[in-house]
């Protein structure tokens, strides 16, 4: 078809000038809509993140009502009733014997109260009060520091007492701290009910009223779960006393070891693939496989670790081959976990190293080669220093990944209940995410609060690691 082409006249242009015609306006609508969708996605992501944080922090603290397994008055110093004076006995009867029982006294003992002997008064107290032996006991709050320490010494086991002394000598603790210690250690204080953080902040009066009506006379306070004591203590079976230290140290060891295994190998493999392997069919196949490995579900690494490290190489991973006594069963050791985790992050580190190296401009390699450097010298002196920030960032991010990864360690056998610090690389262990998982599974509801405290520790650590990576990357990138 022949088309006639006419030169546009000035009028043709003026129509679309500045404001544009319908087609231009349609483009503007599309642009605005597109921008709106992008912005909405961002907001959605931020809301999700915020919800996550609020949800975790909501469980961190709040008003808690306590109950004691043991009556405080049974353990504080008291005087035998027989030693009391007549006035003291009468006062106790007045205070503790119910009115109806009092009314029956003259009939039962054949004389009004005032005329009875001391012996009879003591008998009345024994018969008509619910816990006669605690009548003269001092309340906990009335004890001196020395008395508190003595109560502790009498009522906890010797080893526990030494442990407490080691954490901080009792003599250096305040009275309040000692009272708290007695409540937790001796009276087996437990939380019967705890409100969430936001309830406690925004609904304070209602909560206090409810405590007064539903738990009259109970001890209550605003209780935080994330305390230095929690982070530094061994694990126990009670939420009040349990701690995060074994899991923290376990995580630390596993992560450090897996990085030590994976980084040298991964970086070396990445450099080789990117700089020396050249383009071949085999290289392409290997490359594809590494990308795939980086995306393999982590549980599969757990299966692999179980088969290889925990089973086939058990003698080595438990240290039995090196004569380590009492190896944990089934190869459930730190070293097994570290090797499994190293396998998991290896492809990440390889791929990341490759990307960092690929980002180094070819011009830099040309520059070094052109003055007569060999390939090795070029890579070593010029490519690697420039790629180092990227490699380092990737390594740090892999650390964060290893820290949070749970599934493979469940398979290779992180123990659920480890009360003590890991004793070297052949020791059984637990790690943060598994500890959290275990706590959330326990029937005792209040353990979810403990788990939340651990979640915050894990979350903050991971975020701090990622932040370090970002800062480091920006700083080092600026230097180049």
Partner 1 sequence: MAEVRFSVPKQSSAGGADNAVPSVKMLLEDVSVFYGTFRALAGVNMPVYEHHITAIIGPSGCGKSTLIRTLNRMNDTVDGARVEGRVLLDGEDIYAPDVDPAIVRRRVGMVFQKPNPFPKSIFENVAFGIWLYNKRISRSELSDRVEIALKRAALWDEVKDKLKQLGTSLSGGQQQRLCIARAIAVEPEVLLMDEPASALDPISTMKIEELMLDLKRDYTIVIVTHNMQQAARVSDYTAMMMMRPDRAGELIEFDRTEIIFTNPKDKRTADYVSGRFG
Contact residues for partner 1 (CB under 8 A)? 278-279, 361-374, 377, 381-382, 385-386, 480
Of 112 and 278, the one with the shorter C-beta distance to partner 1 is 278
- b/e string for 380-391 if b means 16 or more Cβ within 10 A? eebbbebbebbb
What would the DSSP string read from start to end of 152-194?
Answer: HHHHS-HHHHHHHHHHS-GGGS-HHHHHHHIIIIIS-EEEEEE
CB atoms near residue 60 (< 10 Å): 17
- What is the Cα–Cα distance from 32 to 34, expressed in whole angstroms? 5
Of 385 and 424, the one with the shorter C-beta distance to partner 1 is 385
Of 324 and 369, the one with the shorter C-beta distance to partner 1 is 369
Min. distance of Cβ 373 from partner 1 in angstroms? 6
Of 283 and 329, the one with the shorter C-beta distance to partner 1 is 283
Min. distance of Cβ 390 from partner 1 in angstroms? 14
Of 391 and 458, the one with the shorter C-beta distance to partner 1 is 391
- What is the Cα–Cα distance from 153 to 77, expressed in whole angstroms? 13
Task: Give the list of residues 6+ apart from residue 292 with CB closer than 8 angstroms, or none.
Answer: none
Min. distance of Cβ 262 from partner 1 in angstroms? 28
Q: Which of 207, 397, 217, 199 is nearest to 294 (CA)?
A: 397
Q: Is the dihedral of CA 408, 414, 417, 419 positive or negative?
A: negative
175 is written with which tokens? 């009275």
- What is the Cα–Cα distance from 429 to 332, expressed in whole angstroms? 8
Min. distance of Cβ 271 from partner 1 in angstroms? 16
Of 34 and 283, the one with the shorter C-beta distance to partner 1 is 283
Min. distance of Cβ 476 from partner 1 in angstroms? 11
Min. distance of Cβ 361 from partner 1 in angstroms? 8
Min. distance of Cβ 387 from partner 1 in angstroms? 11
Of 214 and 477, the one with the shorter C-beta distance to partner 1 is 477
Half-sphere exposure of 32 (CA within 13 A, CB side): 6
Min. distance of Cβ 359 from partner 1 in angstroms? 13
- What is the Cα–Cα distance from 415 to 438, expressed in whole angstroms? 10
Instruction: Determine the 3-state secondary structure of 215 from DSSP.
Output: coil
Of 157 and 362, the one with the shorter C-beta distance to partner 1 is 362
Element (H, E) at 63: strand 61-68
Min. distance of Cβ 393 from partner 1 in angstroms? 17
What radius of gyration, in Å, describes the C-alpha atoms of the chain? 35
What would the DSSP string read from start to end of 375-415?
Answer: HHHHIIIIIHHHHHHHHHHHHHHHHHHHHH--HHHHHHT--
Min. distance of Cβ 420 from partner 1 in angstroms? 50
Of 110 and 385, the one with the shorter C-beta distance to partner 1 is 385
- What is the Cα–Cα distance from 204 to 202, expressed in whole angstroms? 6
Min. distance of Cβ 386 from partner 1 in angstroms? 6
Edge-first strand listing for the sheet containing 61-68: 189-194, 61-68, 219-224
Of 86 and 477, the one with the shorter C-beta distance to partner 1 is 477
Of 94 and 366, the one with the shorter C-beta distance to partner 1 is 366
| Alpha-carbon distance values, 62 to 56, 193, 208, 224, 302 (Å) | 13, 10, 12, 7, 38
């Amino acid at each position: 078809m022949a088309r006639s082409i006419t030169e546009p006249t000035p009028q043709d242009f003026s129509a679309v000038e500045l404001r544009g015609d319908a087609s231009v306006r349609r483009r503007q609508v599309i642009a605005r809509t597109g921008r709106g969708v992008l912005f909405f996605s961002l907001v959605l992501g931020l809301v999700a993140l915020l919800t996550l944080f609020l949800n975790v922090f909501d469980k961190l603290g709040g008003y808690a009502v306590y109950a004691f397994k043991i009556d405080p008055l049974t353990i504080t110093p008291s005087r035998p009733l027989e030693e009391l004076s007549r006035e003291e006995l009468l006062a106790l009867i007045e205070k503790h014997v119910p009115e109806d029982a009092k009314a029956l006294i003259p009939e039962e003992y054949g004389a009004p109260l005032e005329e009875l002997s001391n012996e009879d008064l003591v008998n009345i107290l024994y018969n008509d009060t619910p816990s006669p032996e605690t009548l003269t006991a001092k309340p906990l709050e009335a004890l001196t520091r020395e008395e508190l320490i003595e109560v502790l010494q009498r009522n906890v086991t010797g080893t526990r007492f030494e442990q407490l002394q080691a954490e901080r000598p009792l003599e250096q603790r305040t009275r309040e701290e000692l009272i708290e210690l007695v409540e937790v250690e001796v009276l087996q204080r437990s939380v019967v009910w705890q409100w969430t953080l936001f309830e406690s902040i925004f609904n304070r009066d209602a909560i206090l009223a409810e405590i007064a009506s539903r738990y009259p006379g109970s001890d209550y306070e605003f209780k935080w779960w994330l305390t230095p004591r929690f982070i530094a203590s061994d694990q126990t079976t009670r939420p009040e006393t349990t701690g995060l230290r074994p899991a923290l140290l376990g995580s630390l060891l596993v992560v450090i070891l897996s990085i030590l295994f994976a980084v040298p190998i991964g970086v070396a493999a990445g450099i080789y693939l990117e700089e020396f392997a050249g383009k071949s069919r085999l290289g392409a196949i290997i490359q594809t496989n590494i990308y795939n490995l980086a995306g393999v579900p982590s549980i599969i690494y757990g299966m692999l670790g179980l088969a290889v490290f925990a089973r086939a190489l058990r003698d080595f991973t438990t240290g039995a081959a090196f004569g380590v006594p009492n190896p944990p069963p089934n190869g459930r050791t730190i070293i097994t976990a570290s090797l499994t985790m190293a396998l998991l992050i290896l492809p990440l580190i390889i791929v990341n190293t490759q990307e960092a190296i690929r980002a180094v401009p070819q011009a830099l390699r040309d520059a070094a080669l052109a003055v007569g450097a060999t390939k090795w010298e070029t890579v070593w002196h010029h490519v690697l220093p420039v790629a180092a920030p990227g490699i380092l960032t990737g390594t740090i991010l892999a650390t964060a990944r290893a820290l949070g990864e749970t599934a493979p360690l469940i398979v290779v056998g992180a123990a659920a209940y480890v009360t003590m610090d890991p004793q070297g690389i052949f020791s059984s262990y637990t790690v943060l995410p598994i500890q959290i998982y275990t706590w959330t599974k326990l029937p005792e509801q209040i353990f979810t609060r403990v788990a939340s405290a651990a979640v915050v520790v894990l979350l903050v650590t991971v975020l701090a690691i990622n932040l370090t990576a970002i800062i480091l990357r920006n700083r080092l990138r600026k230097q180049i």
